Amino acid sequence: MEDGVWRLDEIGDFIFLLNCYGPNEKNVLQRRFKKDRKALNKLYDLLEKLDELGFDDAMSFGQSAHYIGTIANNKHLTLIEIRVKLTLWRVVTYVDYGRKVLVMLDAFEHHKSKTMNAVVNANEQNVKRAIELLEEVE
């Protein structure tokens, strides 16, 4: 995906999606959820609810309702979790507490995925990109 243009797509007041657009112009969520539209719709419904709450209340609500989970040994990455029937989807998300923003980096179906360490390692470069793009926005 290095051939595309990286940018942050604004989903809500404090929620962004890191995306690399190439020839097909599909974002990472459209690509990952292409066979599970119900899960994608449920994710967008959750993001809308979180956005209405504002960053601080959204984080509290998301964690208490188990929509937002932590990743061990990583204070800047979190998981937004969506369950549709028996399928659990996880959206790897960068959290910037100073700027009070969430940046979704990637998504995967839980039982078909690599280990969590592999997912974190695969998204290290995306975290750097997100930080750079957030600095440009300021």
Domain residue ranges of the chain, discontinuous segments joined by + = 5-137
Q: How many whole angstroms separate alpha carbon 96 and alpha carbon 76? A: 7
Binned at pLDDT 50, 70 and 90, residue 1 comes out as very low
pLDDT at 28 over 90: no
pLDDT at 74 over 70: yes
Average pLDDT over residues 22-43: 85
Residue 9: the pLDDT is 93
HEC sequence for the chain: CCCCEEEEEECCCCEEEEEEECCCCCCHHHHHCCCCHHHHHHHHHHHHHHHHHCHHHHHHHHHHCCCEEEECCEEEEEEEEEEECCEEEEEEEEEECCCCEEEEEEEEEHHHCCCHHHHHHHCHHHHHHHHHHHHHHC
List CB contacts of 67: < 8 A, sequence separation 6 or more: 46, 50, 61, 80, 81, 82
Q: What is the pTM of this model?
A: 0.89
Q: How many whole angstroms separate alpha carbon 89 and alpha carbon 39? A: 8
How far, rounded to the nearest angstrom, does the alpha carbon of residue 19 sit from its chain's CA centroid? 11
67 against 27, higher pLDDT = 67
